Amino acid sequence: NSCSASCGTGQTGRSRAILVHSKNGGRPCTGVLSMAMKCEGGKSCPVSDSSKPCIWGDWGEWGACERCGGERKRYRHIEQMPENGGAQCHPEASEEIGRCPRQCHDHYVCEW
């Protein structure tokens, strides 16, 4: 059978039929009679004029430093999910890692 999609991913399948059923103790047919498989339509689907790309919101505030001179993180959320073939949201774009400006304190020994 041909692919169900002219572009992008679709489905194709095949089937068979039992022509003569077993009789008088004969061995019955085994295996599936039909199966479906993924197929490619041969080309990318065009992007619609009504497509909408992923739009990220503003960055949140920086979180606390993990340790002296370490890292801190901030996050943002998706404001608009992509639609109709628009650019996807990549999960790694939701987090930003920065260096901590905080310095470790010097240690002093005090007399008792």
Write the pLDDT tens digit of every residue in 71-98: 888 999 999 888 887 888 888 888 888 8
Strands 34-40 and 71-75: unpaired
Residue 1 and residue 40 share a domain: yes
Residue scoring higher pLDDT (10 or 27): 27
Which residues partner with 98 through β-bridges?
72
Number of H helices, E strands in the chain: 0, 6
pTM: 0.45
The count of structural domains within the chain is: 2
In a domain, 28, yes or no: yes
Residue 102 pLDDT > 60:
yes
In a domain, 105, yes or no: no
Residue 39 and residue 13 share a domain: yes
Q: How many CA atoms lie within 13 A of 64 on its CB side?
A: 2
In a domain, 7, yes or no: yes
CA distance 38 to 47: 22
- Name the burial class of residue 89, with classes exposed (0-12), middle (13-18) and buried (19+) by CB atoms within 10 angstroms of its CB: middle
Residue 62 and residue 37 share a domain: no
Domain that holds residue 83: 55-99
Residue 59 and residue 42 share a domain: no
Q: How confident is the model at residue 47 (pLDDT cuts 50, 70, 90)?
A: low
